[in-house]
């Protein structure tokens, strides 16, 4: 796992982190990890699959449309470009 060192935080912030950690029954380090995880991975963030599903639903696409698109895909590898 990666390690991060945070320097020069105010004493007030450090005390608040310690108090928050105590309220949650965690160490200060564990509390900071939890805060960082929640900040960068919010539970309500839109997921790519859900967004794509909503787009196709809004466009009125059906499973039959996707089956037709899948059948139309050219499976041959592309010819490499030549620079002659």
- pLDDT of 1: 85
Average pLDDT over residues 45-66: 89
Q: How confident is the model over 56-65, as pLDDT tens digits?
A: 999 999 899 9
Torsion over CA of 25, 30, 35 and 41, rounded to 10 degrees?
A: -120
Give the pLDDT confidence of 22-43 residue by residue, as tens digits: 999 999 999 999 999 999 988 8
Q: Work out the percent of the chain whose per-residue pLDDT is above 70.
A: 100
Give the residue among 4, 31, 6 at the shortest CA–CA distance from 17. Answer: 31
Give the chain's domain count.
2
Does 65 lie in the same domain as 30?
A: no
- C-alpha gyration radius of the chain: 25
Q: Are residues 1 and 39 in the same domain?
A: yes
Range of the domain at 70: 45-74
Mean pLDDT of all residues in the chain? Answer: 92
């Amino acid at each position: 796992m990666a390690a991060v060192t945070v320097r020069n935080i105010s004493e007030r912030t450090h005390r608040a982190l310690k108090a928050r950690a105590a309220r949650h029954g965690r160490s200060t380090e564990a509390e900071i990890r939890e805060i960082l995880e929640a900040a960068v991975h919010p539970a309500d963030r839109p997921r790519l699959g859900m967004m794509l599903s909503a787009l196709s639903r809004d466009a009125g696409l059906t499973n039959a449309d996707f089956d037709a698109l899948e059948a139309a895909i050219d499976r041959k590898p592309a010819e490499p470009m030549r620079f002659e």
